[in-house]
Structure 1
Amino acid sequence: MPELHLVSPAAPAAASDFSTDEIRAMQRATIALFARWGLSDEQASRLLGDISVRTYQRWKTGTFGRVGVDLAERMSNLMGIHKALRLLFREAERGYGWISRPNADFDGRSALDVMLQGRITDLMRVRRYLDARRGQW
Structure 2
Amino acid sequence: MGATDDQAATILDLPRRTFGRWKAGEIGRIGRDGKARLSNLMEIHKALRIIFKEPARGYDWIKIPNAAFGGAPALDVMLHGELTDLMRVRNYLDAERGGW
**Aligned counterpart, 2:64:** 101
In the TM superposition, residue 93 of structure 1 has moved relative to its aligned partner by 0.5
Partner residue, 2:53: 90
Unmatched segments (≥5 aa) in structure 1: 1-36
* 2:23 alignment counterpart: 60
Secondary structure of the structure 2 residue equivalent to 1:47: helix
In 2, Cα distance between equivalents of 1:89 and 1:81: 12
Tell me the distance in 1 between the aligned counterparts of 2:3 and 2:77: 14
**TM-superposition CA deviations, 1:68-114 (whole Å, max 9, x none):** 00000000000000000000001111001100111111111000001
CA distance in 1, matches of 2:39, 2:32: 10
* Counterpart code for 1:47: I
What displacement does 1:61 show? 1.1
Match of 2:11 in 1: 47
What CA deviation, in whole Å up to 9, does each residue of 1:19-47 have, x standing for no partner?
xxxxxxxxxxxxxxxxxx22222111110
Instruction: Provide the TM-score with structure 2 as the length reference.
Output: 0.94
Compute the RMSD of aligned alpha carbons. 1.1
Distance 1:38 1:91 in 2: 15
* Larger-gyration structure (1/2): 1
Unaligned runs of 5+ in 2: none
Moved more, 70-79 or 55-64: 55-64
| 1:38 paired residue number | 2
Using the size of structure 1 for normalisation, the TM-score is: 0.70
Greater than 6 Å deviation, 4+ residue runs: none
Q: Sequence identity of aligned pairs in percent?
A: 59
